[in-house]
A and B are shown apart, each in its own frame.
Chain A
């Protein structure tokens, strides 16, 4: 029986010795930071052009995470590649021959990759917040304000959960290309578009990214958006359910299917 610490150590070696880990995580960090900073600066410059309602519900915390829409895609790629390359390279057979206990194998991998994604997510979230606030000028907020720390902390959680969700999907589909082909358009286009279409948005707000993103809002209906039927933690809870479902699905596929 391969011991769990040994498998964790092995998975850590695997994850740190491929360059895709480095570049996807650096992209997640850099894209989120750069996009958020640019949009915050733009918002600061054009604040007076906003409508009355938008100015009243201005949420400087939420604005400082506006780059996450793009940055999360790099997290998706990271999550998909961590699991998917096992299948595309055929490494999965070597791995499972060495760790015949499939639950130990999958959840050790997910633990290591998830912890790394969470760490990068937290660093990204806090740095993005500080840089964006500096650029928001007089409209800025601080960590000391009510609920702001929760939102910034939640931003890190959100990035970690997106990566975990992608790992589960890749384990279910057993293919990097297929998983990316579904997740990238979903998060970048489908979810964003549906959440803006009347009628469809009642459903879309229960999508993992839309629900989870609520944790980053401080003002409930920030920038004159519709109020959701759940709170920030409720939204994150919905996202956690999605993540749990995808990971359990991934485990069941790995357990049942032949490698």
Chain B
């Protein structure tokens, strides 16, 4: 059981973690999610007493980590796969940790076998790959057979076999009644491993709920509707009807419509009334990845932008034609181009469905210079 109450950590002016309160319960794998720089590792270090919280406190099994009697027998942690003296062999590294808490040397060989490193036990750990380093770190965490386990990004650098192994290991440890706290930025991995999720963004708690609740709370389900192909008139007619009934309609790449805000039977009725045949009407649930992206959209610290390659492009010929002011490409088929203002009476349904926000959004999110007509744009 790990309990954090009002945990706050500041580094100078930067607040890494702010007023974080949560509980990690035994018998379940608790995923700890957040974008890079959200404060996951800082929180883990505070749990282990490595960093002193600016305010608030965190306890493990009821007492602060630094006051735990024989901490290595109660808490095992993988913080950083490379946190090993490169000149020391894997076995000696584990042996030095084992001796701290009176763990016999044969337990060292045992955990080396568990993580599959017995072949390289005598080799200097400096030559290990990242995946081998992770295995060594996991071995160190398992050494004292602890009731509480913390893993910071355990699957980084592991091969598919290793990822599967870690996933099963976590589940098994939780099934034995242990407290398992795993941080990751891989939502898809957590969807398969975790029972419970704690999501933070910019150091603040964003969600603390079971995986199922998380999806239900954070993603609206939608219906995919497909009208007969090669008949855009039908599709426009249907989307007008659906919009008129209060649904939101989003055209998809392949010509299908994504409908939210209307129940499936209602969509079917509306199609029937509008005299439109349907080829597909299917319910969809957004994935954990989508729910996560939606939730942390505003909390991403490091966001990638388009590479403008300024100065790398060949210069324009002097005296050549001036570059035309760029009109943002409508990025995908299915988006309706906004109609010229003069010819379009306001509130005209077909174009009003999607036009007002989508192209404007596409234009705003891209600097004009970066717009490359040939690039394919991910619909979002």
Interfacial residues, chain A to chain B (CB-CB below 8 A): 1-3, 6-7, 9-11, 13-14, 17-20, 85-86, 89-94, 96-101, 258-259
B46-99 interface (Cβ within 8 A of A):
48-52, 65-72, 75, 77, 79-80, 82-89, 92, 95-97, 99
Q: Which of A3, A18, A86 has the most CB of B within 10 A?
A: A18
A6 and B80 contact, Cβ closer than 8 Å, known pairs A17-B89, A17-B92, A93-B50: no
Interfacial residues, chain B to chain A (CB-CB below 8 A): 45, 48-52, 65-72, 75, 77, 79-80, 82-89, 92, 95-97, 99-102, 140
What B residues does A98 contact at CB under 8 A?
71-72, 97, 100-101
Report the bound CA distance from A13 to B97 in whole Å. 9
What B residues does A3 contact at CB under 8 A?
102
What A residues does B88 contact at CB under 8 A?
14, 17-18
Cβ 8 A contact of B83, one of A6, A89, A99, A258: A89
Measured CB to CB, the closest approach of chain A to B154, in angstroms, equals 15
A93 and B99 contact, Cβ closer than 8 Å, known pairs A17-B88, A18-B85, A100-B71: no
What B residues does A96 contact at CB under 8 A?
48-50
Contact call B45/A2, Cβ cutoff below 8 A: no
Report the bound CA distance from A89 to B126 in whole Å. 10
What B residues does A11 contact at CB under 8 A?
96
Which residue of A has the minimal Cβ distance to B87?
A18
What B residues does A6 contact at CB under 8 A?
99-102
What A residues does B67 contact at CB under 8 A?
100
Which residue of B has the minimal Cβ distance to A256?
B52
Which residue of A has the minimal Cβ distance to B98?
A10
Contact call B96/A259, Cβ cutoff below 8 A: no
Q: Which of B65, B71, B99 has the most CB of A within 10 A?
A: B99
Contact call B80/A258, Cβ cutoff below 8 A: no
Measured CB to CB, the closest approach of chain A to B358, in angstroms, equals 47
What B residues does A85 contact at CB under 8 A?
85, 87
Report the bound CA distance from A71 to B77 in whole Å. 41
